[in-house]
Each structure stands twice: as structure tokens, then as C-alpha cells.
Amino acid sequence: MGYLLYSIIGSLLLILFLPFFLPYCVITRKYINGLGQRFGFFNASYYRHHPLRIWFHAASVGEVQAAKALIDELDKRNVDADLIVSTVTEQGQLAVKRQFGTRVTCLYAPVDLPWIINRFIKLLKPTIYIVLETELWPNILRQLKIQGITTLLLNGRLSARSCRHYRFIAGFISHVMNSITAAAVISRQDMERYTALGLEPEKIIISGNAKYNLETSITSKARQEAEKLPGLAPRPGQIILVAGSTHNGEEEFLINLHQHLCPELPGLLTIIAPRHLARLPVLENILNQRRLKFQKFSDLSTGLRTADIILLDCMGVLASLYAKADFIFCGGSLVPKGGHNIMEAASQGRAPFFGPHMDDFADAAALLLEKGAAFQVASGADLEKRILYFIKHKHEYQKACKAALQTANAQQGAARRQVDLIIKYSCCTSQID
């Protein structure tokens, strides 16, 4: 009854809005790309080359990041398959094309109505359907189950708020959950929430977050390389602040921060790593105008450091600098740039500081904040207060850093564990050895 009502409401909405929506698309050219795909019209023969066909559904940019981690792991394991990635948004489409090129087939996801879904499935003929994170479309899942196609929920997460909302339709959502063959979720809290909605516990494994799948060998190498960094040998009272992947508008905050902290922390060394190296002349100009002494990181190759502000002017060493840092600020977050990967800092045993604009890494921010393993600041002045506080309360900061490392370690091998699940159910369908 729930599916029937859901489909009737969806069909009525489609009939009501389509006469207005189509002319709007034609006139504005918005949403026109992939419109046929959303209704199940595309040439499927081009997409079918292998007996095993894996359909990943990634709603938008965040889920595409998870798909990339899993597809990279599939490649490492030499799994031969046709890979299809569907998205809801145009931004998701662009992310797929940017990340994969022609490695995968990129399609817009179908409208969630049975007659459209059935046409889409008939053309695509997927062996396995993988839904990423929380993108649960009832009719897609139901039709796949009816047709005997394995459905995996991978990198599953569910916020407390979403769980409360789903409970208003508990009977219906339990039937939706019953359509899932198996699931790999990020944390124990996610497992408990999915279980509360009707997903059987025996179907679930806790795998960690594939997007932050930082293997031990990579983080260990960064720590080893940190010991070889020129010009950063320990000095009495030295405190190292690394600001990684900074953007326009943030560096001035950080330079102000350095000037304000120096009287309190005379051993402070501030390393600024701009996201785009082309901006280095701008930073040099700011520092020269303020008559502040600085060095480029490449100038430290002699091992002689003569300044307390370093501009990172080369690629590939930020992880090692994080391993050397006492405090880490992750940029793109005090200005609206979506943030950057704070889990890289956590993997080096440091609780990262970041601003309010973490749209692209909201799940990592939520995970670390929930564990008391990161600190969100509202401004450069707020960051200054936090650093001074933790200088005086070292035990609290060390506790947060320990939690950050534990949280990052829990994500290690996440992609491998989730691909194990894919291979297990691929074998069950006798499509790969």
C-alpha cells in the first residue's frame, strides 16, 4: 500500500509539473542535459562490455568521492566490470567526468517511478546496484529486488535528524530497508540508526568511511619524511602552526594570527600552504608590505631557517608538514570554498582546526566533532583564543589529538572492506571468479 501511494503521488506531481517544467528547460537551457536519461531513454548497447555490470548511484559531489575510492580499489583488485555511475545533480555529473574521464559511464539517475525504473533497468542490465551513503529511492530498490538484482548500501551514513524523520513513515521505510541485500556503514551509530529503521543487523558491517581511506603505509611514510624536512629541526620553545590549503581572504587572518601570538609564543613558526601556488606572489606582497620576514620552503634546502613565517612553494610535502605540526588549520573553511580534507590532519595525530564553511567535507567535520577530535572556529580571532587556551591546557588538547588519530585509523581500509563486500556478492552471482 505504501509503495502504491508513493507512486501515485509521484506520478501526479510529474503530470502536474511536466507541462511547465519542459518549456522552462527549453527556454532557460537549465536541466536540459540528461533529461532523456532521467526518463530511461539512452543507448545502452554502448555501455555493455563485461558480464559484470556495477551500477553506482552517487547523488552529488560528496558521494562521487566515495565512488572514486571504491572504483580505485576495484581497479587495484583487477575486477573486470562495466562501471556505471548515476547522479542526481549536474555538479555530480561534472565531478564524475572530472574524476574518471572515460573510465566509467556517467548517467543521470532515473525518476523514481516504476515504469521509468523498469525501462532503465532493462536497458542497463546491472548485476549489482550500489547506493552510496543515504540516497534511498524506494521504487528503485523495490524493482531491483523484484528482478533479483543485488543491492548494496555502501559508505552508509544516517544522521540522527534523518532517522527521526524516517520514523514518521516507519512501516513504509522498513519495507524499503528490506530491499537491501547487505550494507557497509561508516560507524556504530549509523548501524544503530539503520537497524532502528528495519535493516537487519546481520546484513550490516561497520567499515569506516571510504572517502577518508588513508592507508597506514601512506601516513607512516609522511611521518618518516617529516623527520627529513630541511630547516625544521626542533628548537627550544618552538611551536609549529601549519595552515594547509589556504585561500584568498584566509592568509591575512593567519598573518594577523602570527603577529598576535608571537608575544605570547616567541618560538612560534607559522607555515602557510596556499591551495594554489600561483597565489604565492600575492602572499609575498602582503608580507613585504607589513615588513615581516619570511622564507620560501624551497629555500630551506640548506637547512638554515632565518624566519618565523614559511610559505610552502612546492607540492607533495603537506602531509609531512602535518606530521611535524603542533597545530593544524585546514583552509578553504574561513571563506566559502567548501573546506578541505581534515582527515589528513587527523591521520597524523592532530586535532584539526577549521572554519564554518565545510560543505564539501561536512561528514568528516561531523565525525571528528562528534568524537571531540576537531575544533570549528568562527574567525581568525577565535582560532587565536583556541590555540592560546590549548597551550595552557595541554592535557585537553592531547586528548583531542588522540581521539583524532583513533577516528582516522578507524577509516583505514574502509574501501578495501567495502570492495570485499562487492566481490563477495559478485561471486554469489557467478559473474567473476
What is each CA distance from 268 to 52, 261, 306, in whole angstroms?
56, 8, 13
What is each CA distance from 212 to 157, 326, 340, 346, 414, in whole angstroms?
14, 22, 12, 10, 8
Cell 548515476, residue? 86
Q: Determine the 3-state secondary structure of 296 from DSSP.
A: strand
Catalytic residue among 63, 133, 344, 384: 63
Q: By the 8 A CB rule, do 245 and 330 touch?
A: yes
Alpha-carbon span 101 to 308, nearest angstrom: 43
**pLDDT value of residue 215:** 57
pTM: 0.75
Closest CA to 197 of 173, 220, 225: 173
> Could you state, in order of their start, the residue ranges of all structural domains in the chain?
21-213+413-428, 217-411
10-residue mean pLDDT profile of the chain (433 residues): values are: 86 85 76 83 73 91 88 92 91 87 90 93 94 92 96 92 90 94 93 95 94 66 70 83 96 95 93 94 95 93 86 89 95 94 93 94 90 96 96 97 93 92 82 43
**pLDDT value of residue 57:** 95
**pLDDT value of residue 302:** 73
Question: 190-195 — which CB contacts under 8 Å span 24+ positions?
Answer: 190/156, 190/157, 190/158, 193/158, 193/160, 193/163, 194/153, 194/156, 194/158
Alpha-carbon span 195 to 191, nearest angstrom: 6
Q: By the 8 A CB rule, do 234 and 204 touch?
A: no
The grid coordinates listed for 158 are 544516517
358 alpha carbon, distance to own chain's centre: 11
- Whether 21-213+413-428 and 217-411 share one fold: the answer is yes
For 217-411, the fitting CATH number among 3.10.450.40, 3.40.50.2000, 3.30.200.20, 2.40.340.10 is: 3.40.50.2000
> What residues have CB less than 8 Å from 263, skipping those under 6 apart?
none
**Which residue type occupies 109?**
A
Alpha-carbon span 325 to 305, nearest angstrom: 16
Fold of 21-213+413-428: Rossmann fold (3.40.50)
Is 63 in the active site?
A: yes
